[in-house]
Structures are given as C-alpha cells and as structure tokens.
Amino acid sequence: MQTVYIEEHQEAFKEIVKLHRVKKQKFTLIHIDDHSDMNEAIVSESAINNLTDESIDLISYSQLNYGNYIPPLLYTDIIEDVIWISNHNSERFSEICINTEQKANDFISLLPIKTKVAGNIHKLITCRADTNLTHIYDFSNKSVIVSVDLDYFGSNDHLGELIELEITRNQFFELQNNIYNKVRCSFGSNLNVYSKDSRYYVKLFGLEPIPACKISENEIKANLATLRDFFVRHNLNPDLNIICKSESSGYTRQEVIKYFVENRINI
C-alpha cells in the first residue's frame, strides 16, 4: 500500500487523479475527517474536462479550498462511492449526484445533492469508525482509497476558520469607523480590526469555540486502534493511503500532528 502525506486536503484531488491515470479504474473513497469536504466546488470547466498535469495543479492549488476536494472526483467518476467516517456521524445511507451549473469565465459549479432517483449514481455512507458496514456495502470487489485528515483525531476549528491579514493604517480606520464599509457589512461580527506595534490587522473568523483541553496520547491511540479495527473488520487493503496534516490551515491540533510526525505513524 502506498502512503503519501499532504499538507491540506485539496491536494488529495491531485494524488487521487494521479493514481487514476495509472490504474485507469474507479475507486471507493473512505474519507476520514471531522468535515465532509463535500462543499460546492467551482472549477474551470475546460480544466476539469481535460485533466493534464497543468490543469490538475491549477484545480488543486488555485481553485479548490480546504473543504471541497470530493465533488470534482465524483463529477469525473474517478470516485464511485464515498464512505465518510467522522466522530459525530450516525450510520446513514444515501445516494447522491453532482448538480452542475455554468458560471462566468469558463467556471462550473459542482454541488453534491441527495437524490431519490435510482440509477447510475454515487453512494454516500456516513458512519463512525466502530460501525460494521458489511450489511449495506460490499468492499470485496472495490478498489479503495483511504484519505485521512488528522483533524479527525483532534480538530481545531476556531483556528482553522481564522484568517488574519495585515492592512494599511487608512484601511484600519476605514474599517473601524465607516459603518457602511462593504467589507464590514459583509462579515459583520465575523470581522475584527486591531493594531499592534504600530501595525494594523484585520481578522476574519468563524466564532467556533476554543477547545477546552489538549488531546492526550491515549485518546489518539484509542481512536487509531478503532480505525484500524474498521480496516480489519472490512478486509480493506487500500490502493492508496493519504494522510492530510491540515497544519498550515490550523484545523488539526498541534499535539496530534506532533504525535503522528514524531512517531512516523501510518494508519
């Protein structure tokens, strides 16, 4: 089994497309993450319909964001079905298709929607790692890719959703004093400006709660053991194992990254 570490989850699109170009087959994706990563994706239509090295990089690094690498993989039929494992999911089975909508300048919107129409569509199963799926899904004839975001072991959404930018002094006072400033009116209480050491900054944040305490090594080990048991229980031998650190975005707790990197942990 090939294992690759990536920095942020949109890079999984690139790794999965690369494997597809070699193996010429469809895959079942086991997405292990506290976030679905199935948000609307807006990509270049010409790029997504002609996946060259250049267009793959364009989509991965310029058009996708932290939470939407899966829809383009469903749209291109590289991914057939998705098993989403998180700490919060209840077991649920649904069928989805990709709704497309033309945008300006060669862009196309790709949005997964649940559908009741039976046919050649994708399956989405949500569950926890301690779930047994043998009664609803047969992995025996599937080629499987596992994509794990380390925030599954300890998420840090209040930092992941924080954006901080340095601005000029004039921009600072404009944002602070003009009640009709378009940026302030667009973000409301999600925006804050402040000054420090004669420099000026704007913060955009999602108001997520700050975690109360650190994740212990024992908690990480217990979650890892449960996850590995899921693989054994379903006789999984993935073609590719992707491990996403989510470090630069801040979504993964530092103690989790430290544990995996220092111990060279494989899933």
What's the gap between Cα 212 and its chain centre? 24
**Residue 119, pLDDT score:** 64
| pLDDT at residue number 118 | 64
> Quick one: which of 2, 262, 26, 250 has its CA closest to 149?
250
For the chain, the domains span 2-153+212-262, 163-204
CA distances from 65 to 73, 125, 158 (A): 14, 23, 17
Over the stretch 54-98, which tens digit does the pLDDT of each residue have? Answer: 999 999 999 999 999 999 999 999 999 999 999 988 899 999 999
Instruction: Give the up-direction half-sphere exposure of residue 14: CA atoms within 13 A in the CB hemisphere.
Output: 22
Q: What is the pLDDT of residue 40?
A: 98
100: pLDDT strictly greater than 70: yes
pLDDT of residue 214: 86
**Which residue spans within 115-198 are E strands per DSSP?**
122-127, 144-149, 163-167, 191-196
Instruction: Mark out the alpha helices in 92-247 (DSSP H runs).
Output: 157-160, 169-177, 182-187, 217-233
pLDDT for 120 equals 63
pLDDT in tens, 27-55: 999 999 999 999 999 999 999 999 999 99
Kindly state the DSSP code that residue 252 receives in the 8-state scheme: B
Determine the longest span between alpha carbons in the chain, in angstroms: 63
Mean pLDDT of 158-186: 94
Give the pLDDT confidence score for residue 139 in this predicted structure: 93
117 confidence band (pLDDT: 50, 70, 90): low
**Look-up: residue for tokens 């199963």?**
125
Considering the chain, what percentage of its residues have pLDDT values greater than 90? 82
pLDDT at 14: 98
On average, the pLDDT of the chain sits at: 93
- Distance (Å, rounded) from C-alpha 93 to C-alpha 125? 5
